[in-house]
Structures are given as C-alpha cells and as structure tokens.
Structure 1
C-alpha cells in the first residue's frame, strides 16, 4: 500500500477459521487489524492474534456479540480511538456468523433456531454495517480505497433443506451487499460479497465432512480439493486493497468452480 500510515480493517469473527485467515492475509498486505469476536479477552485471544503482531501489524481485539446492536457504536468508537486519526478505518469484513447446528429438516425447524441465526448472521451484520457506513461518511474525504466485504456462502444460492435458516440468512446477506453497494457507490465506498465454498475449518468439521469428501472425489467440485482460509483471505484482501476498483455489489465465488453449471 502506497501510504505512509497503515489503513485499518475490522474483521468480525476473526479469532479462528476464515476470519483468522482473512486477517492474516490482510496483515501481509499492509493493513492493521481490529478483530471482533465473541469470547472475552484472555491469554487465548492474545495467543490467537500474536502471529499478526509478529508480522508487523497492530492487531487489537474487541469483544462484541454482533447481535447486541447497542454496543456497535461504542465498539467502533473504541477502535477509532485506539488506532488514532492517522490510521483511518477503511474496511469492514463481515465474517462473523453461526452455522445451522444441529442440522434440522426445515419442516421441523423451530422459530428459536431460525431467529438466532437471523439475529447474528443477518440482523447484527446489517446494523453493524449501517453503523460503519455512517462512520465512513462522516470522515474527511480520503484517497484511500474504502470498502465493506460480506462473507456469505454458496448457501446464498445453493439450497440445503437441513440448513434452512443458514441459507435464508446468507441469501439475505447477498441482497444486503447489493443494497449497501447501491447506496454507498456515490461516496466512493465499494461493497463486495465473497461466497466461500467447501472450506476446511472447525465449523465444517463439526457437521462431518464425509459427504463433501465424496463430492470432491466424484468431480462435483471442478478443482478437486477443499478450500482453505488462505483462499478466502487472498480474495478478501485483493478486494480490500482496491485491486478491482471498478466493481461493487458483485459476488465472488471462492469455491473451486462449484458455481459452474454442468449439463452432465
């Protein structure tokens, strides 16, 4: 990045899995990082972020349940204060979310399970993005590339009746991407959607991976391997650096070609 001070990116759900992979790549590409996640600060959270600091970034941790809307503004204000006026916030990566556990047929899905997924995956993410957008709009005009990245899923388009609440929340986030993109484009703020495919993380392991292994072996994933947090991290960092400057509201599949429609 061709600036004397580093830009600051916020990564929600950044302590592990895709979020940590995203934060790791963004540090390599010159960002300082504010990680938001659910656990209270502890030696474990310090250890998770230590490699980011060792790579030369300022990496700070902030506890926030993104379903807790009242704490969105205060958390963003703390991040601004901690990093200082010379290191402006330029990117929000909306990665935090919960999976559908246990897997449940949609005909048996409870309102409580549905609402919990919506509160975190959709409602919390929507209003954190709203707060971040208003913060950017109040800043002085900047030559730095400013962006918001939503991490959705192939489930935004591919149906899975035993993960109904997850599919609905991710499809709604895809629409949310386009809404914010349309609203913010005139202010020079890009909004992107990244759709990970089958990713080798703790979240996928908790649901079992035998079926996905079979899909890969059968060639249903054209690139015959699992995706990794590093794959998603490279995509997000590319977008956040402004290396695709004439793009907004676009969904980027990081899924090994799973989006390719095949007749046979």
Structure 2
C-alpha cells in the first residue's frame, strides 16, 4: 500500500532577504517549510537567500513590496495560497531603523510616520489579514503560528531612536492582542525580542556596542548572530510548545535581565 507524500507546510517571512530574515528562512527550510519571501528589494542578496533555501530542500517564491503598503497585503496572501495551496506560519520580520540617530527633541513627523508605518502599522494590518485568512480558508487552524520580531527596544529606552522604540513597544502589544484573539483557534502568537545582533542594520554601531559587550553589557559577552533568532523561530513553529501563546522571548545574551 502506498501513501501520498505529506504536504509541506508553508511560511511567509517578511524582510527575508538578508540578516535575521535570511536565517529565519534557512531554519524554516530545514524544518520542512516551503517559503514565500517578502522584501522591498530584489538583488544579489535575495538571490543568495533563495539559493540557500532551495539547497535546503525547500521551494521558495518571492513577493516584492513594502509591508507598509497595506493595499498589497491581500495580494501577498493570495500569492502564498496560489503557489502553495496553504499558509501555516507568518513571520513578521520586516522593519526599518531610524535614518539618523539624534535628539528625541528633534524627531520629525515625517521620520516618525515612516518608522511607525512600516514597523507597526504595516505589521499590524498584515497580521490582521493573514489571521483572517487562516481562520476562513477551511483548513485546520490548530498548530499554525504567527511570530512577531520586535527588539530589546520594546522595553529598553534609546533616546537617540525614540520612534523606533515606540514602534517596537507597539509590536509587543500587537503580539499579545493577537495571541488572545487567536488562542481558541489554536494559532499560537509569539514575540521574539532580539538584542545586539550582528547584522547590516547594526554595522554603524558595531564598534560602540562591541566595546560595551566586552565590558559586560550582556552577561553572555558576544554579539548575537542571526542564527540565534532563526533557531528560536524554528522552535516556536515546531508545535513542541503547545501550551503557550503570547509569550515574549529575549534573544539577547541576558541583556534585558535586571542587574544591580
């Protein structure tokens, strides 16, 4: 007697082109997921990510566009269902940093709106849309999950990038809100708060924070790596932590542990 092969699960990863997003894609591919990778750019970095995903045995499609553009959210979800026939996981990883760090008293409405529209508003409404699709697509909802990548700045103050901190704090509440709304359907919602991670986004402050790490700003005295976050996502979507939702996991080397 022969059995039909089990259908692979499918994940959408926003901001999946490089850095933390790339590592998340790689770890999900290794866990047996096919992927819809969203990013605003299509370049050599994206090509490298696609090659890495496919070398790990996964099928990948690309959806180009900014999560800040809410008019694209339906088409993003349609692309996942059209190509793969299902959608099991959403990883909200896309986000932008402040263009120029500076005095909190000098934050402009334009820069504030730019950060909030991408990091918070866009993520909220994409999550809303994907959650609605998960609930209405006629497939079992138990075991699906939504991951929100926020930051240590969800709770730690950096006055030189106040609008970024506000956006990440809002993401923390977004994860909790959706965790309660979707719990009855068995859809787990989790927040990951990366600390000091070695990526292109932190390149400008590598020397400054590298010295602080050596001095013990975090008990684990090293830079975090994108793989530290990727492994965490892989664990959360595995279904091996079934009696949890709405939790925040600090991937930060202990940076956020209060100390005297």
Q: Could you state the TM-score of these two structures normalised by the residue count of structure 2?
A: 0.95
What residue ranges of structure 2 are gaps of 5+ in the alignment?
none
Q: Could you state the TM-score of these two structures normalised by the residue count of structure 1?
A: 0.94
Coordinate RMSD, CA, aligned: 1.4
CA offsets 1:54-104 (integer angstroms, 9 cap, x no match): 2110011110211111111012101210113xxx21100000000112102
Partner of 1:48: 49
In 2, Cα distance between equivalents of 1:235 and 1:104:
32
In 2, Cα distance between equivalents of 1:44 and 1:149:
23
Partner of 2:225: 228
Asked if 1 retains the 8 angstrom alpha-carbon contact of 2:134 and 2:141, the reply is no
Give the C-alpha shift of residue 145 in structure 1.
1.4
In 1, Cα distance between equivalents of 2:150 and 2:176:
13
In 1, Cα distance between equivalents of 2:141 and 2:135:
14
Give the C-alpha shift of residue 142 in structure 1.
1.9
Partner of 1:36: 38
The aligned runs of 1:111-126 (5 Å cut-off) are 111-126=109-124
2:60 corresponds to 1:59: yes
Give the C-alpha shift of residue 48 in structure 1.
2.8
Partner of 2:102: 104
In 1, Cα distance between equivalents of 2:31 and 2:142:
14
Give the C-alpha shift of residue 5 in structure 1.
1.4
Give the C-alpha shift of residue 143 in structure 1.
6.8
In 1, Cα distance between equivalents of 2:140 and 2:219:
41
**Structure 1 residues 109 and 220: alpha-carbon distance in aligned structure 2, compared to 1, 3 A threshold:** same
Asked if 2 retains the 8 angstrom alpha-carbon contact of 1:90 and 1:144, the reply is no
What residue ranges of structure 1 are gaps of 5+ in the alignment?
none
Give the C-alpha shift of residue 47 in structure 1.
3.5
Give the C-alpha shift of residue 176 in structure 1.
0.5
Q: Structure 1: which 4+ aligned runs deviate by more than 4 Å?
A: none
Partner of 1:26: 28
From 117, 124, 127, the counterpart of 2:125: 127
Partner of 1:259: 256
CA offsets 1:100-152 (integer angstroms, 9 cap, x no match): 12102110111100000010000000000000000000022427510000000
